[in-house]
């Protein structure tokens, strides 16, 4: 973004509310799934969107892809406002973004061969026909590490990892500038996850697409993303470049999340201190007033009563693109530390 080029994706003040209970008793109950989220993705950048279940991360992805109709806000893709375009109006823009879903079992049509699945977007956009189409499909299979013969098979004949590769090939078939990946590896076995993550990393450096990578797993996000946004209950609470976020998390929620992630190393895992958050994520039907994290924040007493009355805005606290939404984190002063990061885990040395 600093190079002044136009962002591939710009999301401003995105809101998605779901109305539930159409009956008389429940009418007017609203789930505040996403409540004012803004971010942008530069060309070639991978932005990780992390959060626990119910944080609204998937809803953001679906809104960007217009699988959900946003309640408010704007979504600009390559500079074009696509927020409220009709299905027809959206069609030319569909080429520029594609989504890979979490579940490789339900996101492929069981009645189509894998080759037809991968070729469908190319066919629909009229980009190639017959032998050219066939050639492109073979090429795509090759680029995601699938034997080209597999294009004659049906999805049920493939393993989970292979299916996810088909999903990836389909998404990349029309050379989109933005790939939305919604937990693409969380349904896969550990040994298979690694190869899909490596593949995504290779393809990204080869093809240069931007990516919105949605995940609950911090280590996966650290492996793949350039910048990370942390969501909590429909809001972004912190955004920072990857190294900065993992080395110097500032928001208490981010700190808690990082400290709770399990390390596959018993020496490290058993000596590090962790913050166990009290209680559960509150209901998005009646989110807490003021700061949404205050009901679980270990430092709530320090920011009360502001925490209840005032919503902390997301502001740049370093001047170098580290944005935090917390009353206790200010520009020019150190963020409160919930735990001392263990030296092995902290990345770059402190300034």
Partner 1 sequence: MTETLLDVRDLSVRFDTDDGAVHAVDRMSLTLEPRQVLGIVGESGCGKSVTALSILGLLPKTATVTGSVNFDGTELLGASKSHLRKVRGRQISFVFQEPMTSLNPVFRIGRQVDEVIQEHMNVSKREARARALELLDLVHIPDPARRLDEYPHQLSGGMRQRVMIAMALACDPKILIADEPTTALDVTIQAGILDLLREVRERLGTAIVLITHNLGVVADLADRVVVMYAGRKAEEAPVHELFAHPQHPYTIGLLGAVPRAGAARNGRLQEIPGRVPSLAELPGHCAFADRCPRADEQSWSEVPELREVRRDHAVACFHPGEQ
Using CB under 8 A as the criterion, which residues of the chain lie in contact with partner 1 when the complex forms?
Answer: 52-53, 159, 161, 189-195, 197-198, 201, 216-220, 222-223, 242-243, 246, 256-257, 260-270, 274, 276-277, 279-281, 344-345, 347
Q: Give the residue from 121, 139, 186 showing the smallest Cα distance to 160.
A: 186
Q: Choose between 64 and 244: whose C-beta lies nearer to partner 1.
A: 244
- Nearest distance from C-beta of residue 195 to partner 1, angstroms: 4
- Nearest distance from C-beta of residue 287 to partner 1, angstroms: 15
For residue 214, cis peptide bond before it (omega within 30 degrees of 0): no
Tell me, rounded to whole angstroms, the distance of Cα 264 from its chain centroid: 24
Q: Choose between 1 and 346: whose C-beta lies nearer to partner 1.
A: 346
Q: Give the residue from 178, 158, 33 showing the smallest Cα distance to 104.
A: 158
- Nearest distance from C-beta of residue 248 to partner 1, angstroms: 14
Sequence-ordered list of residues with C-beta below 8 angstroms from that of 63, at least 6 positions apart, any chain: 14, 16, 34, 69, 70, 75
- Nearest distance from C-beta of residue 79 to partner 1, angstroms: 30
Q: Choose between 82 and 158: whose C-beta lies nearer to partner 1.
A: 158
Tell me, rounded to whole angstroms, the distance of Cα 55 from its chain centroid: 11
Query: Rounded to an integer, what distance in angstroms lies between the CA atom of residue 208 and that of residue 144?
Result: 15
Query: What's the angle, vertex CA 62, arms to CA 144 and CA 77, rounded to 5?
Result: 80
Q: Choose between 175 and 198: whose C-beta lies nearer to partner 1.
A: 198
- Nearest distance from C-beta of residue 194 to partner 1, angstroms: 4
Q: Choose between 208 and 347: whose C-beta lies nearer to partner 1.
A: 347
């Amino acid at each position: 973004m600093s190079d002044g080029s136009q962002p591939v994706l710009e999301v401003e003040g995105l809101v998605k509310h779901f109305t539930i209970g159409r009956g008389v008793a429940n009418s007017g109950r609203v789930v505040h799934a996403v409540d004012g989220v803004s971010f942008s993705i530069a060309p070639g950048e991978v932005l990780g969107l992390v959060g626990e279940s119910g944080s609204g991360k998937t809803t953001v992805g679906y809104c960007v892809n217009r699988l959900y109709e946003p309640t408010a806000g704007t979504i600009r893709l390559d500079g074009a406002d696509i927020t409220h375009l009709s299905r027809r109006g959206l069609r030319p823009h569909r080429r520029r973004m594609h989504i890979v879903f979490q579940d490789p079992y339900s996101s492929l049509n069981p009645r189509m061969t894998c080759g037809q699945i991968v070729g469908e977007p190319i066919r629909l956009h009229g980009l190639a026909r017959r032998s050219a189409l066939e050639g492109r499909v073979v090429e795509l299979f090759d680029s995601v590490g699938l034997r080209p013969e597999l294009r004659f098979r049906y999805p049920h004949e493939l393993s989970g990892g292979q299916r996810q590769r088909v999903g990836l090939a389909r998404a990349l078939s029309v050379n989109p500038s933005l790939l939305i990946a919604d937990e693409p590896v969380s349904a896969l076995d550990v040994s298979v996850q690694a190869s899909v993550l490596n593949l995504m990393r290779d393809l990204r450096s080869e093809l240069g697409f931007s990516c919105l990578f949605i995940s609950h797993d911090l280590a996966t996000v650290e492996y793949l993303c350039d910048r990370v946004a942390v969501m909590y209950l429909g809001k972004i609470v912190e955004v920072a470049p990857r190294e900065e976020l993992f080395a110097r998390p500032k928001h208490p929620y981010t700190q808690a999340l990082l400290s709770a992630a399990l390390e596959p190393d018993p020496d490290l895992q058993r000596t590090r201190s962790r913050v166990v958050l009290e209680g559960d994520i509150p209901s998005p039907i009646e989110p807490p007033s003021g700061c949404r994290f205050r009901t679980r924040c270990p430092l709530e007493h320090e920011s009360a009563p502001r925490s209840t009355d005032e919503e902390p805005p997301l502001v740049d606290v370093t001047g170098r693109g580290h944005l935090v939404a917390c009353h206790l984190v200010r520009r020019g002063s150190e963020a409160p530390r919930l735990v001392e990061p263990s030296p092995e885990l902290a990345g770059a040395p402190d300034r």
